[in-house]
Amino acid sequence: MYRKAPRIARILTCAVAVPALLVVAGCSSDSGSGSGSDGGKKDAGAQQQQKKPSAPPTVAAAKFAALPDACKALKKDTVEDLVPKADKAEGTADESSDPQSRRGCSWGGLDDKGVKGSQYHYLTYSLQLFESNQALGSGEKRATEYVTKQVNKVQGKEGVKDVRANPAEGIGDQASTIGYGAREAGTDFNHAVVVARTGNVVVTLDYNGAGYAGTKAPDPADLLKGAQTATKEVVASVAAANK
């Protein structure tokens, strides 16, 4: 009996030690769980940083930065051929609140042939420059959209008749022609309009005419040919102004 006492003491000592170890192990487990939570927060933060939106792409720079002197965009011989006996050989410049982005010029003249009648010719055009804009897009994109608006605007004019709209080749980067008839101030006029884009610049040209004293209005085919010739010269003047 005496010898059993030490054995019982040792058993009790072990029984007490085992729960203590379990408690320590449990604490260690909680501590490890805390470290894992911190690591999870760091991973979540890294994912949020990766999801941040990237900067928007920059738009392409505009091809042209300047417009030519509108009234000098056509050759003198071209003006004399298309508008015989023009009231002002140098043309009349459009008034513009922003000449850096919009300019224009026009000529008008009555070719009086006495008893053979008279023909009136009028030539006008505008140049519109579009700059590249981060919010609105590149200058070329904006100019392309403007071409469509101009073509629709011409075709939608009140009182026009016999409208003929077609794409045109060989004039800038893109072009459309619109021919139509209209009665203006009691007189029948024929119009030939060309809307052309070169880079980020749009040229809208209207060449028209009427007949007086028994003379018919200028032939639509002749007006269209003259309008295309003039538009090509204006388009070329844009490139020359940006050299």
Lowest mean pLDDT segment, chosen from 26-30, 107-111, 112-116, 186-190: 26-30
CATH number of domain containing 204: 3.40.1000
The label of the residue with tokens 């000592």 reads 13
Q: Enter the tokens of residue 10.
A: 């040792």
Domain membership of residue 60 (yes or no) is: no
Domain membership of residue 106 (yes or no) is: yes
Q: Which residue has the higher pLDDT, 116 or 75?
A: 75
10: exposed, middle or buried (C-beta count within 10 Å: 0-12, 13-18, 19+)?
Answer: exposed
Domain membership of residue 57 (yes or no) is: no
What's the length of the chain?
A: 243
Residue 213 — pLDDT band, cuts 50, 70, 90? confident
**Residue in 104, 76, 103, 109 with CA at minimum distance from that of residue 90:** 76
Domain membership of residue 61 (yes or no) is: no
> Is the model's pLDDT at 162 over the cut of 60?
yes
Same domain, 195 and 111: yes
> Is the model's pLDDT at 27 over the cut of 90?
no
Is pTM beyond 0.95? Reply is: no
The Cβ-side half-sphere exposure at 113, using a 13 Å CA radius, reads: 12
What is the DSSP code (8-state) at residue 130? -
Lowest mean pLDDT segment, chosen from 1-5, 149-153, 159-163, 237-241: 1-5
Residue 32 belongs to domain spanning: 1-52
Helices (H), 51-89: 76-82
- Whole-number pLDDT of residue 39: 55
Same domain, 41 and 1: yes
Residue 49 — pLDDT band, cuts 50, 70, 90? low
Q: Which residue has the higher pLDDT, 57 or 62?
A: 62
Same domain, 26 and 145: no
- Whole-number pLDDT of residue 114: 79
What single string gives the DSSP state of each residue in 81-129? HHSTTBS-TT-EEPP-S-TTTEEEEEEEEEEE-GGG-EEEEEEEEEEEE
